[in-house]
């Protein structure tokens, strides 16, 4: 009889349900509620959802009117940082900043207030690893005297516990002889401190996007004059000389 | 010995209600439980499967024969599984998931649990309690509180007598 179902078999079945059904079935019994609520089960369900064919992509327009109880005067500084289906919004008010996290699947949201208006920020939102129970938000404020120019829409790339942002040295933005390059600004999540500045082969005049390819940090940058995208990987982490061009991708016509 | 005579080895499986089934060893070893018995040399006589009844075992053997006849083509195997499970009712699926777990057959386990999850879609809390034989251990106040917390998940649920 199905009453004999082991917890692991039940978890296997429940992990294949949609979130809406799962949340409703918390009302079945205390045992079901506790199984569905454990961190282990949540991670199991997340892994199944990510690997299933029926993933959803939420597209958010820049001028979206967010249907949440956020004040009208709020300026949504930027949108679209997401991790494991959780959306993180940073909202700037006159005197403070609010971080809103929303899980559209469960319709649960959490809000954190920061008692400073944070201008010119770089950000990252996510988990250090898929076994981690904790989601972290990293916000970076640019000091006026700082010589790095940040792209505010750069959301950071996690690699080996370190978040990376592609930035340009402010004094080289106007470098017309193309001798300087963009660098990666880093933040070590474990040590909670700013890390090394890592050189990249990207010319500051080219737009680049960093990522991870085959376990190496990578940069894809646009070369407008030649109408191609260059794909670079850093074979040995932190070693400038190990940047290797993987390929050129022609710009789509 | 069978290898010497050139005929495929056949195993005899016994359900918990004493039904006997003959099945090709090559198909039966889809079950890790049975494969281990074969490898340990304890599959010489009749293999007793104390947790599976005859009706369910017959169905599992149909699956074993069907899926092992398909060459390594994951698409075809998947469509066989879908077809195999398409006409099974909840009770049969429940028996099969227990059997797949006991026999340690991951591909069947995966397919049956996915099918059960599909059947559970949009079902009421009452339906789940009845089908899974679960006693409601909430007090009326506790239950009302849990339901209130996830009120939106009760929209669009199939109607049921004791929802």
- Write the pLDDT tens digit of every residue in A231-247: 999 999 989 899 999 99
* In a shared domain, residues B108 and B134: no
CB atoms within 10 A of CB A20: 20
How many folded domains does chain B comprise?
A: 2
Tell me which residue of A237, A244, A230, A142 sits closest to A194, measured CA to CA.
A142
- The answer to whether the Cβ–Cβ distance between A17 and B121 falls below 8 Å is yes
> What confidence tier does B104 reach under pLDDT thresholds 50, 70, 90?
very high
> What is the arithmetic mean of pLDDT over B112-127?
95
Chain A residues closer than 8 Å to B116 by CB: 13
* In a shared domain, residues B50 and B65: yes
Chain B residues closer than 8 Å to A14 by CB: 117
DSSP readout, A2-41?
GGG--HHHHHHHHTTS-HHHHHHGGGT-HHHHHHHHSHHH
pLDDT in tens, A73-131: 444 444 457 788 888 877 776 677 788 888 878 888 888 888 776 665 678 889 988 77
Q: What is the pLDDT of residue A53?
A: 66
* In a shared domain, residues B97 and B141: no
Chain A residues closer than 8 Å to B122 by CB: 21
Query: Domain for residue B162, yes or no?
Result: no
C-alpha distance from A135 to closest chain B C-alpha (Å)? 23
C-alpha distance from A124 to closest chain B C-alpha (Å)? 30
Query: Domain for residue B160, yes or no?
Result: no
Chain A residues closer than 8 Å to B125 by CB: 24-25, 27-28
Secondary structure (3-state) at B156: coil
Distance CA A251, CA A239 (A): 29
pLDDT in tens, A164-202: 988 876 555 454 445 567 888 899 999 999 888 888 888
> What confidence tier does A148 reach under pLDDT thresholds 50, 70, 90?
low
pTM, full prediction? 0.78
Distance CA A147, CA A144 (A): 8
Query: Domain for residue B159, yes or no?
Result: no
Contact status, residue A29 vs residue B137, Cβ threshold 8 Å: yes
Q: What is the pLDDT of residue A72?
A: 40
Distance CA B148, CA B154 (A): 10
Query: Domain for residue B144, yes or no?
Result: yes
* In a shared domain, residues B96 and B54: yes
* In a shared domain, residues B108 and B42: yes
* In a shared domain, residues B30 and B47: yes
* In a shared domain, residues B66 and B142: no
Query: Domain for residue B76, yes or no?
Result: yes
Distance CA A36, CA A176 (A): 58
> What confidence tier does B101 reach under pLDDT thresholds 50, 70, 90?
very high
- The answer to whether the Cβ–Cβ distance between A29 and B120 falls below 8 Å is no
Q: Is the dihedral of CA A81, A47, A161, A167 positive or negative?
A: negative
* In a shared domain, residues B8 and B48: yes
Asked whether residue A140 carries a pLDDT value surpassing 70, the answer given is: yes
C-alpha distance from B9 to closest chain A C-alpha (Å)? 32
Domain that holds residue B138: 125-154
Contact status, residue A147 vs residue A170, Cβ threshold 8 Å: yes
> What is the arithmetic mean of pLDDT over A218-230?
85
* In a shared domain, residues B12 and B86: yes
* In a shared domain, residues B103 and B148: no
Angle (deg, nearest 10), helices B106-120 and B54-68: 110
- Do you know the residue count of chain A? 253
Tokens of A226: 């030649």
Distance CA A213, CA A102 (A): 29
Task: Please name the member of A4, A12, A24 whose beta carbon is closest to the beta carbon of B150.
Answer: A24
Contact status, residue A212 vs residue A203, Cβ threshold 8 Å: no
Query: Domain for residue B95, yes or no?
Result: yes
Task: Please name the member of B120, B133, B150 whose beta carbon is closest to the beta carbon of A3.
Answer: B133
* In a shared domain, residues B53 and B24: yes
- The answer to whether the Cβ–Cβ distance between A3 and B101 falls below 8 Å is no
* In a shared domain, residues B129 and B116: no
Q: What is the pLDDT of residue A6?
A: 87
Chain A residues closer than 8 Å to B98 by CB: 2, 4-5, 9
> What is the arithmetic mean of pLDDT over B70-79?
88
């Amino acid at each position: 009889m199905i009453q004999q179902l082991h917890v692991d078999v039940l978890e296997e079945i429940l992990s294949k349900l949609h979130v809406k059904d799962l949340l409703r079935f918390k009302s079945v019994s205390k045992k079901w509620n506790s199984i569905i609520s454990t961190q282990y089960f949540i991670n199991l369900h997340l892994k199944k959802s990510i690997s299933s064919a029926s993933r959803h992509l939420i597209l958010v327009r820049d001028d979206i009117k967010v249907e949440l109880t956020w004040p009208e005067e709020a300026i949504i500084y930027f949108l679209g940082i997401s991790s494991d289906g959780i959306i993180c919004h940073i909202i700037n008010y006159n005197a403070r900043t609010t971080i809103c996290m929303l899980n559209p699947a469960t319709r649960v949201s959490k809000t954190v207030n920061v008692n400073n208006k944070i201008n010119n920020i770089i950000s990252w939102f996510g988990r250090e690893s898929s076994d981690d129970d904790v989601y972290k938000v990293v916000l970076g404020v640019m000091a006026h005297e700082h010589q790095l120019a940040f792209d505010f829409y750069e959301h950071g790339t996690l690699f080996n516990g370190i978040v990376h942002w592609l930035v340009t040295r402010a004094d080289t933005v106007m470098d017309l002889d193309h001798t300087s390059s963009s660098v990666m600004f880093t933040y070590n999540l474990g040590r909670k401190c700013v890390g090394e500045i890592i050189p990249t082969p990207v010319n500051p005049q080219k737009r680049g996007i960093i990522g991870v390819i085959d376990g190496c940090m990578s940069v894809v940058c646009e070369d407008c004059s030649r109408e191609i995208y260059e794909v670079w990987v850093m074979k040995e982490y932190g070693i400038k000389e190990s940047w290797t061009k993987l390929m050129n991708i022609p710009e789509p016509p | 010995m069978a290898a010497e005579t050139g005929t495929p080895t056949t195993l005899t499986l016994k359900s918990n209600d004493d039904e006997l089934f003959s099945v090709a060893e090559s198909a039966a070893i889809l079950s890790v439980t049975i494969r281990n018995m074969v490898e340990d040399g304890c599959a010489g006589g009749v293999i007793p499967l104390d947790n599976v009844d005859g009706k369910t075992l017959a169905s599992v053997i149909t699956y074993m024969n069907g899926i092992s006849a398909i060459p390594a083509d994951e698409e075809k195997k998947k469509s066989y599984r879908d077809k195999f499970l398409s006409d099974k009712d909840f009770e049969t699926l429940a028996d099969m998931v227990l059997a797949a777990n006991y026999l340690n057959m991951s591909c069947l386990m995966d397919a049956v649990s996915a099918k059960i999850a599909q059947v559970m879609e949009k079902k009421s809390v009452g339906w789940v309690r009845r089908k899974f034989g679960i006693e409601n251990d909430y007090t009326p106040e506790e239950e009302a509180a849990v339901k209130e917390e996830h009120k939106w998940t009760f929209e669009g649920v199939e109607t049921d007598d004791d929802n």
